Amino acid sequence: MIARALLALVAWIACGQAVTDPLPVGLTSDHDLRGVYRAALCGRPDMPAADCETALRTYAGEVPAPRPPAAPAARYRLVFVPGFMASCFPGIHTFGDAADAARSVGYAVDVVDVGGRNGIAANARFLAEHLERTPADGRRIILVAHSKGADDSLQMLATRPDLAARVDALLTVSGALQGSPLADDLHFVYGVTFGVLPFESCDRGEGDAVADLQPQARRLWWQRMGSSLRTPIYSIVSLPDFDRLSPSLVLPYLTLSRVAPDNDGMLPVHSQVVPSARLLGVVNADHLKVAIPHPGVMWLLAFSPAYFPRPQVVLAAVDVIAAQQP
């Protein structure tokens, strides 16, 4: 144990600078796991120290911790839940590389085909139907959700306690847990553009996805449903350096910066957490890059070319989650 603690401390020193910058406003958490998550990520054999230092931000108050053991892959099924409109564009495969990496080390892996333009209630129903079809093979489920997919997952967990009993954790990656001010600003624009335009791979959807993401709607949801949740939430927050921002997110980033300077191009950092969540870390990636592998040359003007180690970021989080289980 002493040797593991020393190795973790060396990794923490190598991968994280001793800084005094406080956490961004609103990122306080009842459960701060930044130290153990850094040990899990930076201690991986496939994570060079320089890459970890670039990918994972360091703030004051982080406590060094031993690296948790690798999760027993055969015990878990990872269920990936994409975000808003992810299924509407060809070449977009949310968490595609992370899912491949997880399969390669023995996890059972599903990617849920939720409706790209569906509201939260409809996608929660689709997610529930997916879990109902999933064989009860003894594996425990970890939901890994991006953006609005976190809200879809929360709705399912709150309304289907029978299915929630099979889920050990919800891992939110840039999760829209408290919505975004952009949803207020863009609701009308979406309704006359992307909300009605034809997409070959996704229909117009059921419900009003953008209205569901308005901060007031999310506040009301937490007031009504939050106390019914029993599944622990673990959160990875995205906050990019400006030079790592995807070109397509520059305008929304600047727009959002008027009210929330710390944002990922779609969500303020404080919207990506709730007090009851376990904060794993803040990564240097924007709202797209944190979950979506670069789709190729046709998307050069939409996605940042910056490298981001999504598989390692996700699998390190699973290691932490597994170590937290009784």
Domain boundaries, the chain: 2-324
- Calculate mean pLDDT across residues 126-137: 94
Predicted confidence (pLDDT) at residue 320 exceeds the cutoff of 70: yes
**Residue 310: pLDDT over 90:** yes
Please provide the average confidence, as pLDDT, over all residues in the chain.
88
Question: What is the per-residue pLDDT for 114?
Answer: 86
Tell me what pLDDT residue 201 has.
Answer: 66
**The pLDDT of residue 170:** 98
Mean pLDDT of 283-306: 87
Average pLDDT rounded to a whole number, residues 290-313: 87
Share of the chain above pLDDT 90, in %: 73
Stronger pLDDT, 150 or 87, i.e. the higher one? 150
Q: Which pLDDT score, from 0 to 100, does residue 172 have?
A: 98
pLDDT of residue 163: 97
Encode the chain in three state secondary structure.
CHHHHHHHHHHHHHHCCCCCCCCCCCCCCCEECHHHHHHHHHCCCCCCHHHHHHHECCCCCCCCCCCCCCCCHHHEEEEEECCCCHHHCCCCCCCHHHHHHHHHCCCEEEECCCCCCCCHHHHHHHHHHHHHHCCCCCCEEEEEEECHHHHHHHHHHHHCHHHHCCEEEEEEECCCCCCCHHHHHHHHHHHHCCCCCCECCECCCCCCHHHHCCHHHHHHHHHHHHHHCCCCEEEEEECCCHHHCCHHHHHHHHHHHCCCCCECCCCEHHHHCCCCCEEEEEECCCCCCCCCCCCCHHHCCCCCCCCCCHHHHHHHHHHHHHHHCC
pLDDT score, position 297: 61
pLDDT higher than threshold 60 for residue 313: yes
In the prediction, which pLDDT does 100 show?
A: 97
Give the lowest-confidence range in 22-26, 86-90, 99-103, 287-291: 86-90
pLDDT tens for 144-201 read 999 999 999 999 999 999 999 999 999 999 999 999 999 987 754 544 345 455 566 6
- Highest-scoring range by mean pLDDT, 11-20, 99-108, 181-190: 99-108
Q: Does domain 2-324 have CATH number 3.30.465.10?
A: no
Q: pLDDT value at position 7?
A: 42
pLDDT in the model for residue 199: 65
Would you say residue 83 has pLDDT above 70?
yes
